[in-house]
């Protein structure tokens, strides 16, 4: 009998230390993780959200320690395309484009966010990360301790963010919902 099938992989192990109560990033660094969602039911809330996002982008243009990640994903004919743009001080620092087949949108969106975050946290001078995505509800799953299908992506993101938050006490990450008129 092949015993390797009976092992629990660490990313799906509910006893993984990253998933312990009190050890989760959302517990330790809760004031450094912010989600900005938009209420699409009214035009006023959409306009207000866009003005706040514009203000953040204007701040970004003058802040040498702020990096913006814009991630997006689409699926057409069973082929997922996910892209991450990393901007620094009004310059496109890196553009990453990936393709995959037979993948569901949740996994593709998590992967796009993961790519951007893992590239930015390696930069020494980064203090603030702004993630702009149309997948804000999926981004919130990064900090969900329950076990689910895409946990391998989530744990990779959490490991990168743990390193990022431990670099400097003022490091922050913000997730901004971009309006998607689809």
Q: Of 61-65, 124-128, 146-150, which gets the smallest average pLDDT?
A: 146-150
The full set of domains in the chain, from first to last, is 22-35+42-177 (3.30.420.10)
In the predicted model, what is the mean pLDDT of residues 62-88?
A: 84
Whole-model pTM: value is: 0.76
DSSP 59-124: HHHH-TTEEEEEEEEEEETTEEEEEEEEEETTEEEEEEEEEEES--HHHHHHHHHHHHHHHHTTST
pLDDT digits (tens, 9 = 90+) for 85-135: 888 777 777 888 888 888 888 888 888 888 889 989 988 888 899 998 888
Predicted pLDDT at 147: 60
In the predicted model, what is the mean pLDDT of residues 52-64?
A: 81
């Amino acid at each position: 009998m092949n015993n390797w099938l009976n092992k629990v992989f660490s990313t799906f192990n509910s006893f993984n230390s990253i998933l312990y109560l009190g050890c989760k990033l959302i517990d330790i660094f809760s004031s450094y993780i912010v989600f900005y969602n938009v209420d699409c039911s009214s035009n006023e809330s959409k306009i207000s959200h866009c003005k706040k996002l514009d203000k953040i982008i204007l701040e970004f243009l003058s802040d040498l320690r702020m990096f913006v990640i814009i991630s997006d994903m689409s699926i057409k004919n069973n082929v997922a395309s996910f892209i991450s743009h990393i901007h620094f001080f009004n310059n496109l620092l890196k553009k990453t484009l990936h393709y995959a087949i037979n993948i569901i949108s949740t996994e593709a969106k998590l992967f796009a966010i993961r790519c951007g975050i893992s590239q930015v946290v390696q930069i020494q001078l980064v203090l603030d990360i702004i993630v702009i995505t149309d997948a804000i509800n999926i981004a919130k799953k990064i900090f969900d301790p329950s076990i689910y299908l895409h946990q391998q992506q989530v744990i990779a993101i959490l490991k990168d963010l743990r390193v990022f938050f431990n670099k400097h006490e003022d490091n922050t990450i913000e997730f901004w919902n971009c309006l998607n008129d689809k």
